[in-house]
Amino acid sequence: MSVQKQARIWVITILAAGVLLYLLSDVLLPFVAGLAVAYFLDPVADRLEKWGLPRLAATTIITIIFFILLAAGIILLIPLIGDQFAALIEAVPGYVDRFYAFFVERTDGRFNDLIDQSDELGAKIVPFAANILQNIANRGLALLNLISLLAITPVVSFYLLNDWDRMIAHIDALLPRPYAARIRVISKEIDVMLSGFVRGTGTVCIILAIFYATSLQLAGLEFGLIVGIISGLISFIPFVGMIIGLILSVVLSLFQFLPDQPEMVAVIGAIFIAGQVLEGNFLTPNLVGKNIGLHPVWLIFGLLAFGSLFGFVGMLLSVPIAAAIGVFVRHGIADYLRSTLYQGDGLMAEATELPPLAADQAGEAVTSASALTPSQDIPDNGTAEQKKNNDKKSDEPS
């Protein structure tokens, strides 16, 4: 089979998979979530197997413990987050009034016209914003109906986790033999990248969410729980979680603590600085390890693009797909650098290409020569005279 025909088959297969994913995105959520849970817990099951526990028993214990902890966290956190979110919505008008009074007092009425115009603009914006919130609420209800399907997720997770090693071996046996070794190398790189992100970065985000939420609550910041959880959970994008949490917390602390307790604003800022130090020096080096190679910009693009195409399922799949594309692109660039498309014809390359050291020396020589001013001459060092003498000697009879 020719390379062109093989490439055509792979392209058609990938396109068909994308179309199928788009058509079935509404029903794939529990299966994708179950796959993610099984992938996340597989190392734990392997460790228990090494300790002598059968795979079925290890899978049962891990699945039960995981979903009990998940359910307990949801039962405990959802009411608290809901109460704080409702209280925040109620407090926003008061914050706006306080800011309005502060602004009017400091400007001595010089910008009253501007304020009146902003009030008129706000009166137009509020209904528009209410419309958006209503649409979000309607989609939220649809999401809640979809979440009810997550009762399937524990079952899917259990079966996938129990059969994980057998599935991997079966997939490996189906690989096309001429390319099996290359596919294994690429798959291993994708697995290393995903394990570093999903397991390592996911654990870091959970720890930071607990740290931020607990610290802000102990500091007495209103709505500190919801701000801390949001800051921690979006910390998978470097610095973004910390910056967003810092801005929200400082703004809330300004309304809450000024002018009586200005030192508390500094305390709130110190919490996020401590969280960044904790993440950069302890959590990420020990839980994630070296750079996983998934650039934050590429990650954000993947989340937005796949989320727009396939909804919440696309957001779940965005990280593994982005990781896979990144690895494929890296291997493609490596193949391109070894190809004649980059290096040119073999004979021409041999005639024109310099070894790395010679190329560097040539580049330095050109740079040094170009640095000379027009009034400067390159010293001859007697080279021309020596050449004449050599020519005379070669003409003399031996």
> What are the pLDDT digits (tens) for 65-81?
988 888 887 787 777 77
Provide, rounded to the nearest whole percent, the portion of the chain with pLDDT above 90.
8
Q: At which residue do the structure tokens 């914006």 appear?
A: 125
Among the ranges given (32-41, 139-148, 213-222, 277-286), the one the predictor scored with the smallest mean pLDDT: 139-148
Among the ranges given (77-91, 183-197, 248-262), the one the predictor scored with the smallest mean pLDDT: 77-91
* Residue 255: band (very low, low, confident or very high) from pLDDT cuts 50, 70, 90: confident
Q: What are phi and psi of 18, to 5 degrees?
A: -65, -45
Distance of CA 88 to the CA centre of its chain: 29
pLDDT at 288 over 50: yes
pLDDT at 141 over 60: no
- Cβ atoms of residues 207 and 348 within 8 Å: no
CA distance 162 to 48: 12
pLDDT at 130 over 60: no
Average pLDDT of the segment spanning 93-122:
59
Q: Where are the beta strands (DSSP E) in the chain?
A: none
Tell me the pLDDT tens digit for each residue of 226-250.
888 888 888 877 777 888 888 888 8
pLDDT value at residue 104: 61
CA distance 138 to 145: 11
pLDDT value at residue 372: 38
Mean pLDDT of the chain, nearest integer = 74
- Cβ atoms of residues 249 and 268 within 8 Å: yes
* Residue 143: band (very low, low, confident or very high) from pLDDT cuts 50, 70, 90: low
Among the ranges given (236-240, 256-260, 299-303, 392-396), the one the predictor scored with the smallest mean pLDDT: 392-396
Among the ranges given (67-81, 301-315, 340-354), the one the predictor scored with the smallest mean pLDDT: 340-354
* Residue 59: band (very low, low, confident or very high) from pLDDT cuts 50, 70, 90: very high
Average pLDDT of the segment spanning 275-294:
75
Look up the pTM and report it: 0.62
362-396: b or e for each residue (b if 16 or more CB lie within 10 Å)?
eeeeeeeeeeeeeeeeeeeeeeeeeeeeeeeeeee
Q: Which of 6-10, 59-63, 145-149, 393-397 has the highest mean pLDDT?
A: 59-63
Average pLDDT of the segment spanning 42-56:
90
pLDDT value at residue 205: 87
Provide, rounded to the nearest whole percent, the portion of the chain with pLDDT above 70.
70
pLDDT at 397 over 60: no
pLDDT value at residue 60: 92
CA distance 372 to 378: 8
pLDDT at 381 over 50: no
* Residue 374: band (very low, low, confident or very high) from pLDDT cuts 50, 70, 90: very low
